[in-house]
Every structure is written in C-alpha cells, then in structure tokens.
A and B are shown apart, each in its own frame.
Chain A
Amino acid sequence: MNMARISFPKTAKKGEVIEIRTLISHVMETGYRPDATGRVVPRDIIRRFTCRYNDTEVFRADLWQAVAANPFISFTTVATESGRLTFTWDGDNGFSHTETGDITVT
C-alpha cells in the first residue's frame, strides 16, 4: 500500500539538522461541503501527525479542515543517533496510519 510518502536522508552526521518531508493520501473532508444531493458531507480529517525518533516524540502537528487534501508536512529534527523514525497520522472515523524509516548516524 502506497498511502504515505516519507523523505529524509538515510545517513547523517551526529548533530546535523535533517529535513523530513511527509505526504499522505487523505481527502480532508471539511464538513462544510454539500454533496450532489445537497446534504453536507460529514467532516473526515486527519487531526494529528506525530514523529517519533527511537520512541521519543520529536515533532507533532494538530491539523484542522484548512489543511489541504493529501496533507503535506515538512519539519526538521536533529540526527542524534542511529535508529528508527516512526510517523503516525490519526484522524476522524478511527483513521490511523503509521510508517517507519531507518537512519544511520555517524
């Protein structure tokens, strides 16, 4: 399943600030938009994005309807040690998706 895309350098020097770019496929339905029959489509958005670096939270975002469909978020973190980055998106209707990626720090 290719629902989300993550991009960050796979290797970094210790202490280096790396940029992480994330994109996930999601409609981000605002809850304000009527469908063809005139009924308002219920809100269906991603409300929270979290990035953990070896199980320590290093970045979190709270999102609202004004974030465009297929949310793109980029941010930075300090490459502290080799290990795993875990990305989680949580939202309405029980939506939850997690991706991981490894980094080698020298």
Chain B
Amino acid sequence: MQTSSRLLITRRAALAGAAALLTVRPAFGTPESLAAAIRDFTGGVEPQSGGVILDLPPLVENGNSVSVTVRMDSPMTPEDHVQALALFTERNPQPNVAIFHLGPRSGRAIATTRMRLATSQTVIALAKTSDGRIWRDQVEVIVTLAACVEG
C-alpha cells in the first residue's frame, strides 16, 4: 500500500511538472505580434489618428467581460463608406479581438461586443474606409481583476 501511495504521489508530481512545462509560454502579447496583426488588417497602410472612435471604460473592474464599441461618422454610401472596423489588444496573449465587416447596407459604421482584458493595457481600434485609408484610435485601460485567459 505504501509503495502504491508513493507511486501516486510521484505520478502527481510528474503531472505537475509536465503542467508547469506546458504553461511556460509568453503570458502577454509582444509588440511584434501586435504589429503583425495590425499589418494583416492594414495591408501596410499607415493609420491616421482620428475618424474612428473607440468607446471603452478607462477603468475596468472585471476583465472577463468589458463592453466595447467602435464607430465612425460616415455617410455609408457606395462611394464613401467604412469597410471594416477592427479591435486589437497590446498585451492579451493574442493581439486580435474582432474584425467587423461593414458596407453601405450597414447604414451606420458601428459595432459593439464584449471583450476580455488579461491585464491593464492599451486597446486599439482601426477603421478601413472605402478610399483605402486606415484610421486609428486607442484607449488605455486599467483592469483591477484580469480575465483568466491564463488560468
């Protein structure tokens, strides 16, 4: 009996060790991964500040579910409209949050969702307009209880 219980403990220790190895990963996003995700969206076009508006509370108590709205004033006509609105995070493990694809049938350029924030960080909104330009806004958010994206 003693042997088997010792074996069990050893197995548990081994499992814990394996788990520790598995969870060794970059906890937060890097500037490189953020830049790559943004480049995927912009196609290399340099974003201009202004135009797009990111609505996000600057102080968040619970990072598990944070209401976020991204919008832009646009006539939303076939000639002049917002094609896409995108959200990125600086320090979540994965930089992308969501990309909303719009068009003249949208009527307005606005989308709302609820997002996770793994830590206090900057959230970035980009808008792509039909003239090929990219617009940028960002909000620095302080999170007092982070989302348990890492367990």
Contacts and interface: CB of A to CB of B under 8 A. Distances in A.
Contacts of A75: 100, 102, 106, 110-112
Interface string B90-132: 0011101111111111111011111111000000000000000
Contacts, number: 122
B110 A58 contact: no
Contact of B20 (A18, A38, A65, A67): A38
Contacts of A72: 112-114
Contacts of B148: 33
B116 A66 contact: yes
A38 B103 CA distance: 45
B23 interface: yes
B106 A58 contact: yes
Given A17-B107, A33-B148, A78-B105, 17 more contacts: A38-B23, A40-B22, A40-B23, A61-B101, A62-B98, A65-B94, A65-B116, A66-B89, A66-B116, A66-B149, A71-B113, A72-B114, A73-B112, A74-B111, A76-B108, A78-B107, A80-B105
12 contacts: A30-B149, A32-B25, A39-B22, A53-B105, A59-B102, A61-B98, A61-B101, A65-B116, A65-B149, A68-B114, A75-B112, A76-B107
A32 B149 contact: yes
Contacts of B105: 53, 56, 58, 77-78, 80
Interface of B: 15-16, 18-20, 22-23, 25, 64-66, 87, 89, 92-94, 96-108, 110-117, 147-151
A94 interface: no
Nearest to B67: A72
B100 A66 contact: no
Contacts of A64: 94, 96-98
A75 B97 CA distance: 16
A76 B102 CA distance: 9
Nearest to A29: B149
A17 B97 contact: no
Nearest to A23: B114
Contacts of A4: none
